[in-house]
Structures are given as structure tokens and as C-alpha cells.
Amino acid sequence: MSQPIADEMLLDPLRRPDADSLHRLQERLAHTAADEGLLDIAYRTVDTPVGTLLLAATARGLARVAYARENHDVVLADLAARISPRILRAPARLEPVVRELDEYFAGHRRQFDLPLDLSLAAGFRREVLAHLPEVGYGTTASYTALALRSGRPRAVRAAASACARNPLPVVLPCHRIVRSDQTLGGYVGGVDAKQTLLTLEMAGSR
């Protein structure tokens, strides 16, 4: 005789994991949410030569690119608090971004042509970010030069801080800003990533 089944275990067969159905349902939800205008932030990850990048976009455009060392869970929680908690993994909205990043890392793209949402940066920081694309592919500029371009020549420290907190690294090329003594300086993705991007661009601009 087997032991009688406890009430708590009677329904155990109905608790079988069903990852396939849930995966399908999540995708369907992401699509419907986007169609109904309820998807405030869509995100996905992409593997690149500088590691796995998190990409997050609002309906207006790309709002965040994050390195793995920034901790993607922390970044998403921050987006939930600062923009909206209506966040879903939804690759479709990020497809043009992935395409341009692939081209960039293959050395075939020198500038990004994507709608951007700069709502995570305000004031002078935003001003600095807007001037980053003026530093051309395969070249570098100093933090001093960036401060000058941004209209506040003496705000070198603030310009450096704006780079350090760039919400859109790679796409807004803060990796091209180096110290006046030509040493690399810091980078949100780590110095190795900065070196990798600059080396890639040197090769691509030859």
C-alpha cells in the first residue's frame, strides 16, 4: 500500500513547469502591449566585442545602452523608477539598433543614425552629450576640448562627469574623449572596452 497523498500534494501534477507556453505568451504580451501603446520601455540584450550590452528604447527612441559591468538588473530597475515601470523584454523595437551596432562592430558604420531619447540626461550633461557625435570616428578629443565645444570652456570636470554618466555609450561616442596627456582616462564600460572601441575605429578609418 502506498502512502495516502497529502492535500498539499494532490495538485502537484498541475504545477509542472511549462516554459514553452510561457515564453510564447510573454512574446504575445510584448507585441500586444506595443500595439496598444502600453509598452513604455522595450529592452533586449545583444552580444558584442565589448560584452553583452543592454538596449532600452521608449516610443521616442533609444534611451539607454548599458554595459554588463553596470549590472543590467540595476539599470532596468533605475529605468522603472525614472521613466516608467511598464517595461518588457521586446526585441522588435530594438532591431534597427542591433543592425547598426552589428555594422559598427564589423567596421562598416562610422556614425549612428537612430532616434534617441535623452530624457535620462538634463541641463549641461545633455548639452555635452549632444556635442559628442562631433568628435569624428577614429579620432579623439580631450575633456577640455569637449567642454569648449559644449559652451563652457572651464567646466572640464562637469564635461568628464557627463561622459562618465552617458546613458548611451557606444552610440554617443564618449569613448573618443581622452585625457589631455593622451592617456585614456576612465570609461563607463571599463578601460579595456574603451581601448577596444578606439582600436576598432583606427582600423576602420584606415
Partner 1 sequence: MPLPPFEDVVARHGPTVLRVCRALLGWERAEDAWAETFLAALKAYPDLPSGSNVEAWLVTIARRKAIDQHRATVRQPVPLPDLPDRPAVDRYPVETDRDLWQALAELPFKQREAVTYHYLAGLPYLEVAQILGNSTDAARRAAADGIKTLRHTYLKDQP
- Sign of the four-CA dihedral 149, 152, 155, 160: negative
Q: Indicate if 174 belongs to the active site.
A: yes
Q: CA-CA distance, 197 to 169, in Å (whole number)?
A: 11
Q: CA-CA distance, 139 to 104, in Å (whole number)?
A: 15
Give 59-100 as a DSSP string: SSSEEEEE-GGG-HHHHHHHHHHHT-S-EEE-GGGGHHHHHH
Q: By CB under 8 A, which span of 59-67, 87-95, 170-178, 197-205 interacts with partner 1?
A: 87-95
Cell 514553452 maps to which residue? 20
Residues 6+ away with beta carbon under 8 Å from 97: 55, 57, 62, 114, 171
Least distance from partner 1 to the Cβ atom of residue 66, Å: 13
- 29 is a site residue for partner 1 (CB under 8 A): yes
Q: Which of 65, 141, 174, 198 is catalytic?
A: 174
Cell 548599458 maps to which residue? 66
Q: Looking at beta carbons only, is 8 or 181 nearer to partner 1? A: 8
- 2 is a site residue for partner 1 (CB under 8 A): no
Give, as ranges, the residues between 57 and 76 that touch partner 1 (CB under 8 A): 76
Residue choice 1, 81, 123, 183 for contact with partner 1 (CB under 8 A):
81
Residue choice 46, 87, 148, 156 for contact with partner 1 (CB under 8 A):
87
Beta bridge partners of 66: 54
- 7 is a site residue for partner 1 (CB under 8 A): yes
Tell me which residues are annotated as active site.
174
Which chain residues interact with partner 1 by CB under 8 A?
Answer: 4-5, 7-8, 10-11, 13-18, 21-22, 25-26, 28-29, 32-33, 36, 38, 41, 43, 76-77, 79-81, 84-89
